[in-house]
Amino acid sequence: MPIIDRYIIKKFLGTLGFMLLLLSIIVVVIDVQSKSPRIEGNGFTVGYFLVHFYPFWMIYLVITFMSILVFISVIYFTSRMANNTEIVAIISSGASFHRFARPYFIASAIIALFALATNHFILPWANVEKNKLEVYTYSEGNREKILGNVEIATQLSPTEYIFINNYNRKEKRGSSFLFQKFDKNRKLIEETSANEIFWDAKKKKFTISAYLHRKASVNESEILANGDTKDLDFGHSPEELFPDELLGQTKTTPELLKLIRQEKEKGNKNLNFFLNELYQRTSMPVSIIVLSILALSLSSQKKRGGLGANLAIGISLAFIFVFSFEVLKVVSENNTISPLLAMWLPNIIFAPLAAFLYFKRANQ
């Protein structure tokens, strides 16, 4: 590899590494200070969280904001090179701007591939560990929404439905259970009600108690059955049967695709939480390359204001990029636009802008 490529890639990765280290230290210190009362109030120690929660939380945080960190890193070290007239010297030696930009493409592509693999296969594993404890850093009201009792209304298939009046996700137990099955003409043909339902981890089945089973028979008659307990096998675990919005984070991409397919087969139309998660796993790594090109184009020329002006522009654009992602995610979850468009729209907008500024800079 030519010296100039090694030099720029070293600066690229070195600055990014410094930013990651600095961010990790600052964010963890601030987060621990703000959340330590909740952590200790739930019976944990800060030391336990530093070992069993924060390493996985930092993986999530770093990968989520990797494109922004790359963007600011490129602006920082490229602006310094421009202020030191290093870029002028390189181009004056006979190298074109396209040749100068080559190591930026190489480094950003390497980081993007790493982020892509992490998003699809490693981050879900980290999220499993993170989500086990993250709820204990929430306020009491938000924690109750996840660990407290909720009302369940879900679809097993196009003709089968489950209703639970009060279901506790943590204990996997609920009261006032109702199962209904309809025929192709939407006529009720089977119904099971019970006072209580709970998940038996050993049997990997649900158990209902004080149940009444009704099944339609010929001549509009019914077959009735009741009893103290009965096992029910719905073919899914409680997490899959009654998914929350965090479930998609803990699935590798093949598992997430399987989950989405299962939910579609069940007739569940509210899949945007999962689809957003699926599409952003690819769109975010691609944004690393897009924002690297944009940062190079903005900061490779010495201008009035120097490094400070470039960083101000970079941080402003980074805020707009992150804000647009979050807004579009909410809009998609409300079924206003498709998840595919929502997760790719920032790249669709920023990519032409980056290309325009890049070629404009190259032709100067």
Exposure string over 276-289, b if 16+ CB within 10 A, otherwise e:
bbbbbbbbbbbbbb
Pairing of strands 205-216, 188-200: antiparallel
Rounded to two decimals, the pTM is 0.88
Q: Is the dihedral of CA 141, 278, 118, 99 positive or negative?
A: negative
100-145 pLDDT tens trace: 999 999 999 999 999 999 999 999 999 999 999 998 998 887 787 7
Max CA distance (Å), the chain: 94
Residue 288 in this model has a pLDDT that exceeds 90: yes
32-54 pLDDT tens trace: 999 999 999 999 999 999 999 99
Query: What type of residue is 145?
Result: K
pLDDT given for residue 305 in this prediction: 62
Residue 292 in contact with residue 277, Cβ under 8 Å?
no
Residue with tokens 């410094």: 18
Sheet bearing 205-216, strands edge to edge: 149-157, 160-168, 173-182, 188-200, 205-216, 222-232
First to last CA, the chain: 27
